[in-house]
Amino acid sequence: MVPIDIKTPVYEGPLEILLELIEKRKLSISDISLAAVTDEYIARVNALPQLPVDETAEFIALAATLLLIKSRSLLPTLELSDDESRDIKELEYRLALYQLIKEAARGVGAALRDPYLYEGENPEPAPLFIPDAAVTLSSLREAAEALMRGFPQSLALPKVEVKKIMSLEEMIDRMSQRISSAFTMSFRQFSGLDKAQGVEARHGVIVSFLALLELVKQGILRAQQEEDFGDITMESDRISTPTYE
Amino acid sequence: MNDLLVKIEALLFALGRPLSRSELIKLVPCSEAELAQALAQAPQDRGVILVDDNKVVELRAAPVAAELIEKIRREEYAREVGRAGQEVLSAVLYRGPLTRSEIDFIRGVNSSQTLRTLTMRGLVRKVPNPKDSRSFLYETTTELLATLGVSRAQDLPEYAEVREKLSKLEEAYRQKEAAAHNESI
């Protein structure tokens, strides 16, 4: 098999680019430094290759906030809405946090190369003798009884023979004969549900119903049921039993 | 603490078992004199102490904590053994010694946690299985029999009868399984 070679390009995130621009100028994070790098950030974003939509949105949202900061630094009279002020504060906060984490990550990377601290293997403790007053000769005898009662049974399944009640073919035959002689008849009557009861009746109904479905499918019968679980009226267009190969 | 002693302690902790002096000399490695000198410097005023009987060296909890540890362990295991515990004890007493899987089979459920608790409480113990060196057999402890007031398992109520019934049930099960297996082939 030819191995599938997947290369995922490593993009710099918007915060990463921004921080890089600020650090390059040896500035600290403030609205002044952010205003100063705005143009450069936008130039960098424009130069980026095609990005997935959601990532592009991140880059653009940040650019918008930067432009806002820059506008304010140029026009001190510019009034900011609450949302806008919050966006700016949030950006400064996120950037500061990112800077901190980036710094800390270097330490984590170095620590990963430190020697491993092995965990201890636990020897099994020596048992203490702690009896239970509820364990008595009679309770143990009872428990033995419970074990015998609940002893696992073999999983071998009992075999049940399925008895033949009436074949579907016989039933279809009988039904089409009855229908063609009577034109319409009730399913309740035909299946014997009006007379018989119990298991026998249920089996009769099942076979009759299958036969009914088959005859409807073959276009010999039309069936109508007025209401859910109500009786089904079956009728035939043809008087004689059709012959089919 | 000298470097050698630090290494000895770390080994004892990480391997989790007592090490003989000759093993330590080979593992560290160091000379017999160096080892003796390092062990002599072991501090005795910490939570974990080195116990050295001149042959085997072992890490143990400090004696000042002995009472505390015993109290906590007793509390942990002082609960009633419960129905599962009674059944496992009864299986081991009447039909034992048994392997863990035989106990699981008789009860129809996994009994490893129950067996662990019973072992920790000193009611059953694990002994090597003479038929299979990879598995262990569980048998009841002398202390349990003593507490029950019987000198041997045979003196349990209806011992012979229960033991025979259990083995017959097991035999019947195996035969049915074998029959079902043959039929399905």
Domains of chain A by residue range = 14-111, 168-235
Same domain for B100 and B56, yes or no, is: no
Same domain for B133 and B158, yes or no, is: yes
CATH number at residue B168: 1.10.10.10
Answer whether A137 touches B (CB < 8 Å): yes
Answer whether B73 touches A (CB < 8 Å): yes
Q: Is the residue at B106 inside a domain?
A: yes
- pLDDT surpasses 80 at A160: no
Q: Is the residue at B73 inside a domain?
A: no
Same domain for B55 and B96, yes or no, is: no
DSSP state, residue B154: G
Same domain for B145 and B178, yes or no, is: yes
Q: Which residues of B touch A148 (CB under 8 A)?
A: 162, 165-166, 169
Portion of chain A with pLDDT greater than 70, in percent: 83
Same domain for B104 and B175, yes or no, is: yes
Q: Which of A140, A142, A149, A157 to mutate to test the interface with B (most CBs of B within 10 A)?
A: A140
Q: What is the pLDDT of residue A245?
A: 46
Q: What is the pLDDT of residue A3?
A: 59
Residue range A186-225, pLDDT digits in tens: 888 777 776 766 777 777 788 888 888 888 887 777 888 8
Same domain for B101 and B157, yes or no, is: yes
Q: For residues B165 and A118, what is the distance between their CA atoms, to the nearest angstrom?
A: 51
Task: Please give the tally of structural domains in chain B.
Answer: 2
Q: Which of A83-92, A167-176, A184-193: highest mean pLDDT?
A: A83-92
Mean pLDDT estimate for chain A: 80
Same domain for B43 and B103, yes or no, is: no
With a threshold of 0.90, tell me whether the complex ipTM lies above it: no
Same domain for B122 and B173, yes or no, is: yes
- Strands across the sheet containing B136-140: B98-99, B136-140, B124-128
Answer whether B78 touches A (CB < 8 Å): yes
The CATH class of A168-235 is mainly alpha
Q: For residues B117 and B115, what is the distance between their CA atoms, to the nearest angstrom?
A: 5
Q: What is the pLDDT of residue A154?
A: 65
Q: Low-confidence residues of chain B, pLDDT below 50?
A: none
Average pLDDT (A94-100) is 92
Q: What is the pLDDT of residue A167?
A: 75
Q: How far is CA B55 from CA B15, B23, B27, B36, B62, in A?
A: 17, 10, 15, 11, 20
Q: Which residues of A touch B86 (CB under 8 A)?
A: 134-135, 139-140, 142-143
Same domain for B91 and B148, yes or no, is: yes
Same domain for B106 and B175, yes or no, is: yes
Q: Pick from B20, B42, B65: which residue ends a domain?
A: B65
pTM of the model: 0.53
Which residue range(s) make up the domain with B99?
A: 80-184
Distance of CA B20 to the CA centre of its chain: 22
Q: Is the residue at B72 inside a domain?
A: no
